[in-house]
């Protein structure tokens, strides 16, 4: 055995020992370090600080708000949530998107690095010319020493985009569980496709341009949560929601306000979630929603828009507003949108991407800049900051 061959074997043994000792984390760090130099390898920003005092609104916000969204590679959308978990949605032409869930966003990043040929090419380009790309070499080494590849992760759902929702609105998406049942449906209804009564409700909630509804179902296909959301209108506060006369179907005067945050290069999204396991909420939900045709399957749709006359619909939406103002979890989140520069169309697409999560495909990348939450079941509650603990610090100083 020549001296050169022996040296190569020693190096291979050292490399194998390093990988065995530290697992695939070392390889991922090497790959991230290389492709980061090229400007993009699907990495997330660090998670924001989140105040640690508890409440129904805090838990809901951390589980549902998208701290960061980005197109890491063609057909791959990465979403990081406030609790540190993440999803990767992988779209294929003419087929539903696969939804992969991860408890840690670092695991989602690793999975993308393992699977994306586009990101692998970035790493190879950054590493310079060689007989074998750094990513391919890393994966080959893992296979040879018997470490498992991330391909064992299986989708937890399929996400299907709706070109037109059942009510003739703009866009939406639904998720199917592995057994093919609808587990979540989101529909966006633009103001110009909504009834006047629905627009009045949206304006009372401080929304601009469209109102979206999301219905989540449990394993028994029973609805468990209803969320109404959309881009925020300027000149609104929670007091506006509380000030209107409850239950009579007459809302605040229609006000064509502009979107909030446009001048700051941000999209502000407001959402209200109702727990449908509470009887009063479930009663109003059943009056407004019913099972309808959603693409090739059945799912919950806002049937009140078509099945009621304007007077009954207005009274029903008044009762829904009552439930929201007295029992909803309120979340208001500001998202920085690179390159928005006062463009309403970019703001609209960013808001659509944040509400639907699946897309649209051309939705811009976003990153959380600020967030406030409130549990409206607590009388006189006001939105409190989620990403700053100033209130806690002030309370400790005064103690």
Identify whether 209 is part of a domain: yes
| Residue 29 Cα distances to 6, 23, 128, 331, angstroms | 28, 11, 18, 35
State whether residue 149 is helix, strand or coil. coil
> Residue written as tokens 């394993």?
219
Q: Closest Cα to residue 36, out of 105, 132, 130, 134?
A: 134
Neighbouring residues of 83: CB distance < 8 A, sequence distance ≥ 6: 62, 63
Domain-located, residue 11: no
Q: Which residue has the tokens 């960061």?
A: 68
| pLDDT digit string (tens) for the chain, length 399 residues | 555 555 544 444 444 444 443 444 444 444 444 334 334 444 445 555 555 556 676 666 666 667 778 876 677 788 888 777 888 888 776 678 888 888 887 788 777 777 665 444 433 443 444 434 544 555 555 455 444 445 557 777 788 777 654 445 557 888 888 877 888 999 999 998 899 999 999 989 999 999 999 999 998 889 999 999 999 998 888 888 887 555 444 444 444 567 776 667 788 999 999 999 999 999 999 999 998 877 667 788 899 998 999 999 999 999 999 999 999 999 998 888 877 667 788 888 888 888 987 766 667 888 888 888 889 998 888 888 877 655 444 334 443
Domain membership of residue 163 as a residue range: 156-399
How much is the pLDDT for 390? 55
63 within some domain:
no
Report pLDDT for 159. Answer: 80
Token representation of residue 267: 């999209």
Does residue 311 belong to any structural domain of this protein? yes
Strand partners, 78: 70, 88
Rounded Cα–Cα distance for residues 196 and 102 (Å): 41
On the 0-12 / 13-18 / 19+ scale of CB atoms within 10 A, 147 is: middle
* The pair of three-digit structure tokens given for residue 44, joined into one six-digit string: 């997330």
| Per-residue confidence (pLDDT) for residue 21, from 0 to 100 | 38
Domain presence at residue 205: yes
State how many domains the chain has: 1
For residue 67, the cross-strand partners are none
Segments in 246-309 forming alpha helices (H): 279-288, 304-307
Query: Chain-centre distance of CA 227, in angstroms?
Result: 13
Burial 233-264 (b: 16+ CB within 10 A, else e): beebebebbeebeeeebebeeeeeeebbbbee
DSSP 39-55: T-SSPPPPPPP------
- H or E element in which residue 92 lies: strand 86-92
What local confidence, expressed as pLDDT, does residue 234 receive? 86
Residue 134 within a domain: no
In a domain, 228, yes or no: yes
What integer pLDDT is reported at residue 152 of this predicted model? 58
- Is residue 107 in a domain? no
pLDDT at position 231: 94
């Amino acid at each position: 055995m020549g001296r050169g061959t022996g040296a190569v074997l020693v190096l291979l043994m050292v490399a194998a020992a390093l990988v065995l000792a530290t697992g695939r984390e070392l390889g991922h760090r090497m790959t991230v370090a290389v492709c980061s130099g090229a400007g993009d390898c699907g990495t997330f920003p660090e998670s924001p600080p989140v105040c640690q005092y508890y409440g129904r609104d805090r838990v809901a916000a951390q589980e549902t708000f998208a701290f960061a969204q980005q197109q890491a590679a063609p057909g791959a959308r990465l979403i990081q949530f406030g609790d540190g978990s993440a999803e990767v949605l992988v779209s294929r032409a003419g087929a539903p998107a696969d939804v992969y869930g991860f408890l840690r966003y670092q695991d989602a990043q690793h999975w993308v690095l393992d699977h994306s040929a586009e990101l692998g090419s970035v790493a190879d380009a950054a590493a310079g010319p060689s007989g074998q790309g750094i990513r391919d070499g890393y994966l080959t080494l893992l296979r040879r020493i018997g470490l498992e590849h991330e391909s064992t992760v299986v989708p937890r759902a399929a996400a299907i985009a709706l070109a037109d929702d059942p009510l003739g609105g703009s866009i939406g998406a639904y998720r199917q569980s592995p057994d093919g049942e609808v587990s979540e449906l989101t529909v966006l209804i633009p103001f110009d496709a909504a009834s006047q009564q629905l627009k009045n409700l949206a304006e009372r909630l401080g929304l601009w341009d469209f109102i979206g509804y999301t219905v989540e179902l449990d394993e028994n296909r029973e609805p468990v949560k209803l969320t109404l959301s959309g881009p925020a209108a300027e000149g609104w506060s929670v007091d506006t929601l509380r000030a209107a006369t409850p239950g009579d179907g007459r809302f605040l005067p229609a006000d064509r306000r502009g979107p909030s945050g446009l001048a700051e290069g941000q999209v502000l999204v407001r959402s209200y979630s109702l727990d449908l396991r509470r009887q009063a909420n479930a009663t109003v939900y059943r009056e407004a929603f019913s099972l309808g045709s959603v693409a090739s399957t059945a799912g919950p749709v806002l049937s009140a828009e078509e099945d009621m006359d304007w007077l009954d619909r207005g009274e029903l939406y008044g009762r829904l507003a009552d439930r929201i103002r007295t029992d909803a979890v309120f979340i208001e989140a500001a998202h920085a949108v690179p390159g928005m520069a006062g463009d309403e169309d970019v703001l609209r697409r960013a808001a659509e991407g944040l509400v639907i999560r699946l897309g649209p495909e051309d939705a811009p990348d976003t990153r959380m800049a600020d967030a406030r939450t409130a549990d409206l079941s607590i009388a006189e509650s006001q939105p409190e900051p989620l990403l700053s603990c100033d209130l806690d610090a002030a309370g400790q100083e005064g103690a």
